Amino acid sequence: LKPAEVVVADGGSTDGTPELVEEFAGSSPVPVRLLRLPRCNRSVGRNAAVRATRCEIVAMTDGGCVADNRWLEELTSPFLWPNPPDVVAGYYEPIIEDIWDAAVGVALVPPPDEVDPENFLPSSRSIAFRKGAWRAVGGYPEHLSHNEDTPFALALRRAGFKFAFAPGAIVRWRVHKSPLRVFWQYLRYAYGDGEAGLFFRHYLKLGVYGLAGAALKVKALRAPALAVLSTYALKQLVHRWRRAREPVIALLSMVYIFALDAGQCVGYLSGWARRMASALTIPDEPLEIAPQIDENYNLSEGGRG
């Protein structure tokens, strides 16, 4: 499918992005619309852009992502199938320029052959959907501070909309090389999950490892706690070794695994506390859907917007 228009929602950029969009609009072969939405969160921006478009099929990506030349074609071609889907999940890869980029990629982003198309939750950095489906589930949840695309994708699944996976619809982005920034990144993701009450079983399991880490300070519990943590670390290392096929990259990736695990533990507890304090009336049904999804991929890895 060829693009009919481009809608850009800007949340108050001060780096010249609006000016670049306006300059591009002057020479673009298709209409370009800029929505200025100062200080809006991502859900508000996404919903405003979808609402503004006149098209029934919407392809979406994020600022900071570099779309492959065939991204739009690959992402929208399933809508031409005899039995077309309502939602198409694209894919994404880190931009790799050095060994640290490679280590982050191995830690956070699985290769396409590890993805289960039936359970893959699309990130909104690479997704296409029918506007009617977006409307039917109420759009992106604007009350959530972070990780809005996971509840949106779950809502689409719960509503019975048909999904397709397009591994060739690739966008690339620069990953954080600093373990501290990875910690904060996944803290925000997990905070959003806690706010929405999602994936409780996954975070409960992760919390057990957190308790094992704390138990190392108790002499009587040190041996069993060390056994639990060693088993977990070995499992993660073997899995990353198979991906990387290079020992150094696999070992470096463990730094990021520990950073994201710590961020998830802290973030989920904080988000859940806010959920309880705010008495958010979010249905609990997604908790029944979550175990059917490849938790390692969607939570501990790159299935985020």
Claim: this prediction has a pTM higher than 0.85? no
Q: CATH number, domain at 163?
A: 3.90.550.10
Per-residue confidence (pLDDT) for residue 304, from 0 to 100:
53
pLDDT tens across 204-256, in order?
777 777 777 777 788 888 888 888 888 888 988 998 998 888 899 999 999 99
Task: Say whether pLDDT at 293 is over 70.
Answer: no
Instruction: Give the structural domain span for 45.
Output: 6-173
Domain C-terminal end among 173, 199, 228: 173
| 219/248 same-domain check | yes
Indicate if 141 and 121 belong to the same structural domain.
yes
CB of 92 closer than 8 Å to CB of 302: yes
Q: pLDDT class for 4, splitting at 50, 70, 90? A: very high
Please state the domain count of the chain: 2
Q: How wide is the angle at C-alpha 3 spanned by C-alphas 141 and 38, nearest 5°? A: 40
Instruction: Point out the least confidently predicted range of 16-20, 72-76, 219-223.
Output: 219-223
226 in the same domain as 271: yes
Could you give phi then psi for residue 59, rounded to 5 degrees?
-105, 135
- Lowest mean per-residue pLDDT among 21-30, 39-48, 72-81, 266-275: 266-275
Q: Which helix (H) or strand (E) holds 90?
A: strand 87-94
pLDDT at 290: 33
Residues 69-83 have a mean pLDDT of 97
The span from the CA of 146 to the CA of 143, in Å, is: 9
For position 65, what pLDDT does the model report? 94
For residue range 270-285, list pLDDT tens digits in order: 888 888 887 544 444 4
Question: What is the spatial distance between Cα 173 and Cα 171, in angstroms, rounded to a whole number?
Answer: 7
Report the percentage of the chain scoring pLDDT > 70: 91
Q: What residues are paired with 35 via a beta bridge? A: 9
80-99 per-position pLDDT tens digit: 999 999 999 999 999 999 99
DSSP string for residues in 146-195: S--HHHHHHHHHHTT--EEEEEEEEEEEPPP-SHHHHHHHHHHHHHHHHH
Quick: pLDDT tens for 25-42: 999 999 999 999 998 999
